[in-house]
Chains A and B, each alone.
Chain A
């Protein structure tokens, strides 16, 4: 299968290959993902819904298989061989995560279900303690519901106020407004690294610096970033960084809360249960376990953590810059091509974007577009993308969204373009 297809009309300026790695490269990565070879409606699959969830490489699937066929046992408690193997595998996954985001210490990595649980955890532990009546929490206008609703719940519980960093029409945060919003009542700032709905890469380093200058802790929702951009939490200097495994080629049901050790140590437990305690007594009371175990009550998603470790190993074959460059090339090619369709309007035209494009096509509803593309084997997302306040701000109900992963190719974009012509043929026959 040829990687690059320049046959599409009018884009000859892209004649240099997008990128090539020194080693394995992105040339044949599709081969690593068995599902991409399953036909959909008798057509080869074009999977452009990576912001919803990514597909899993064979190596991740194999890691789950080998865990369940060779290592399965509960962790941290058995004296037997399998339990030891399982514990080693689980804890080594934690260290892989530490390396992946360059955290200082492995104990700063808490395994959770996903970014959503991580945000809820922070809201109900750190937030519940830090936020008092009359205090303020800041989020932005382009957040996913998962980085809005947990804070709304906390504000209601603690009689605090949620403030919102506004966005420009092109989908960029109005950072100049932030300075005036930060004050002594601000107890936390929570903002996404990359917008799931329109792809904006937020200037988080600048935001973190502004907040740190006035002593406001910052949570970064990295759900849409970790598979696409290199992450260095020490360089960012954020207090919390959260992400989901399934959006970075790992299984569903596993995610990560990174928090600076000094903060994590002051946070009360989230859930009570086994493994999060050192001692439990009706007489002398209960002593909680050390971090990060204090925040991992009950048997965790052991296989999920191991799968996440395998996904990190898979990504380590490439350079994150190489992946970013590849996806940036796809973004540029697709953006240029989509702009040639007179009836199409791209929603979100920030200067810095990840491989996500939201668009509206004339007055054709995204669901109809999604159904028609699906019949050609093209998977896209249609709807409000769990970012209803963002849609409200832009005055639209829904968009069609395409989002790239490292296995997407120019051919995929060309198939999409053909699919959109088919949509136009059905809805605008003249």
Chain B
């Protein structure tokens, strides 16, 4: 069961139970995107208020498993207040961490709290749960208004 404890860390369970910025649309929201994981029916919409290149406020709606919801909550907490460039760097870094793609020796991204998401790497079927909200966030940031799908 030690593996399961890596996946369902206290902080993940906490963010699942009490997701931050959940069911909340920022007053001055000016960007949004939606995303689905058609395999499991997870669905999230992320709203952003981006002003002068800074992610001023965030919010999300939708439903999904503990991993996807906690990931969305943790991410938005980290993204709030970041510049668009910082947010993109963090997105890329996390994507590398979770998918193991293109990780480099001098990858020095400090994930802080987000490090807890690394436990999902051992569960290939669940990586998409963790990355869904991140892709939706990235689409919202790019202001593409596209519908993101994990498939």
Contact = CB atoms under 8 A, between A and B. Distances in A.
Greatest chain B CB density within 10 A among A366, A422, A426 is at: A426
Given A365-B64, A397-B63, A371 B7 contact: yes
A372 B41 contact: no
Interface in B7-50: 7-8, 13, 39-43
A372 B65 CA distance: 12
A371 B13 contact: no
B39 A383 contact: yes
B103 interface: no
B3 interface: yes
A367 B40 contact: yes
Given A426-B8, A426-B13, A398 B40 contact: yes
Given A383-B41, A426-B13, A427-B13, A367 B126 contact: yes
Contacts of B3: 375
A179 interface: no
A311 B118 CA distance: 44
B133 to A, nearest CB: 14
A372 B4 CA distance: 7
Interface in B62-113: 63-67
A77 B39 CA distance: 43
For the residues of A in contact with B, the DSSP-based class is helix
B126 A371 contact: yes
Contacts of B136: none
A398 B67 contact: no
Interface residues of B, number: 20
A346 to B, nearest CB: 19
Given A365-B64, A371-B126, A383 B40 contact: yes
Interface residues of A, number: 18
Interface string B118-135: 000001011001000000
Interface string A368-393: 10011001000000111000100100
B65 A367 contact: yes
A320 interface: no
Nearest to B8: A426
B66 A365 contact: yes
A138 B39 CA distance: 27
A388 B38 CA distance: 11
A175 interface: no
A382 B40 CA distance: 7
A130 B126 CA distance: 45
A374 B13 CA distance: 19
Contacts of B125: 371
Contact of A384 (B1, B13, B41, B129): B41
B41 A397 contact: yes
Contact of A398 (B13, B41, B66): B41
A426 B7 CA distance: 11
Nearest to A422: B1
A383 B40 CA distance: 5
A427 B41 contact: no
A52 interface: no
A225 B13 CA distance: 40
Nearest to A391: B41
Contacts of B4: 371-372, 375, 426
A73 interface: no
B13 A365 contact: no
B117 to A, nearest CB: 15
A364 interface: yes
16 contacts: A364-B66, A365-B65, A366-B65, A367-B40, A367-B64, A367-B65, A371-B4, A371-B7, A371-B125, A375-B4, A384-B40, A397-B63, A398-B40, A398-B41, A426-B4, A427-B66
Per CB-CB distance, the 5 closest pairs between chain A and chain B, nearest first, are A365-B65, A367-B65, A368-B66, A384-B41, A397-B41
Given A366-B65, A371-B7, 10 more contacts: A365-B65, A367-B64, A367-B67, A367-B126, A368-B66, A372-B8, A388-B41, A397-B41, A398-B41, A426-B8
